[in-house]
Chain A
């Protein structure tokens, strides 16, 4: 394992989870470029001490990682006790410890309560406060000491200490992230759409032919209202179009703009269909004039009236997401082409 891998492995634990792979990949590339430059200058591969020297010059990994965190708070009582470099880690450790303390105290008191022991609110409260105080003081003192050491010797750290290998899962995620950003439609995306749309299409066809599948025994009393007849063909069209789109992108994964435009058109059409459905007010009708059929139709309509709102919100969110993706990719390719 190279010093660079050891360094990245250590750094990975300190970086914000959401951007970890991306940052590691970029830093790795930057360090590798510097090492390549140095090798060309010397005309030979770098020795391990030389590689360690390059890593050491980059500063303490704590400082490097802190540059990427948005939390730039400090802890001060008069003089600054914990600076912006250590503060994100201090806040993280403190939150973890306090959370753990709450869980342990909660579990202990719950166990006592379940076993029939009398629990006093005052005792619970004082226990929680005492534990919080102890944790707060202990964690703060440790971090204040580390801060003092770090501010005295900011470059003092040993790259040889980082022995743990970079996890294979992190490496995989880095590669996947890059693949995503290479602006190709992934095979996973196309196959998922193909399967989901195929199943949805078969399901819609089956429901249309056999309402029993959705209404159950009530199928002898109620049926679809006319609004479903109006949106049936457009719905089938959306499914078919999604299948065709996925097949094309399987063959041509670099047709990203085609995917984006198709998604906007299909999502907008779906939104329009939901709009038609929302204002239909009647979605099922009784098959006969008996009071039983009327009652069931009325109950089902009430349920659909409630359930259609979340569906509309999801469809709207999806349409906005597709539009934003199209806009972003369009803007990028526009600037890339000059």
Chain B
């Protein structure tokens, strides 16, 4: 395998790994109300960069699944769409976090051998 193929393979696996945790990161960030741009910045500041083309469709999907609530409101003299976790979203987030912790500790044990 060439170096560039190695890099491509790693990049694909890395993206796959991050994709799964994006939902968790977005739900956790939306425990407090935010609009898209500040949410994207908050995620990027914590090392979870996400493209707009991924974030906004994801927010719509989570809203249609009842996990998020949204509202257009004026802020800084412009209309912005604010998102926040719904009661169902809070429940699901708790369960996902528990699952995440369980996977994390299992992986640690496996890696340590």
**Interface residues of A, Cβ cutoff 8 Å to B:** 19, 23, 25-27, 29-30, 32-34, 58-59, 63-64, 67-68, 178, 181-183, 331-332, 335-336
Contact = CB atoms under 8 A, between A and B. Distances in A.
B86 A64 contact: no
B71 A67 contact: no
A33 B72 CA distance: 15
Nearest to A328: B69
Interface in B20-45: 35-37, 40
Given A332-B71, A335-B84, A67 B36 contact: no
B31 to A, nearest CB: 11
Interface size class of B (residues with CB under 8 A): 20 to 34
A178 B85 CA distance: 21
Contacts of B57: 67-68
Nearest to B51: A59
8 contacts: A29-B80, A32-B78, A59-B53, A64-B52, A67-B57, A335-B84, A336-B71, A336-B84
A242 B69 CA distance: 30
B16 to A, nearest CB: 15
Contacts of B56: 23, 26-27, 30, 67-68
A27 B40 CA distance: 13
B73 interface: yes
A67 B81 CA distance: 19
Contacts of B87: 331, 335
A124 to B, nearest CB: 44
Q: Which 5 A-B pairs have the closest CB atoms?
A: A33-B37, A67-B57, A181-B72, A67-B53, A64-B53
Given A29-B78, A182-B73, 11 more contacts: A23-B56, A29-B79, A29-B81, A30-B40, A32-B78, A34-B37, A63-B53, A64-B53, A67-B54, A68-B56, A178-B79
A29 B84 CA distance: 18
Contact of A181 (B35, B52, B71, B78): B71
A100 B86 CA distance: 45
Contacts of A27: 52, 56
Contacts of B79: 25, 29, 178
Given A29-B79, A32-B78, A331-B86, A58 B53 contact: yes
Contact of A30 (B36, B54, B71, B72): B36
Given A34-B37, A182-B73, A26 B81 contact: yes
A335 B69 contact: yes
A30 B69 contact: no
Nearest to B87: A335
Nearest to A19: B60
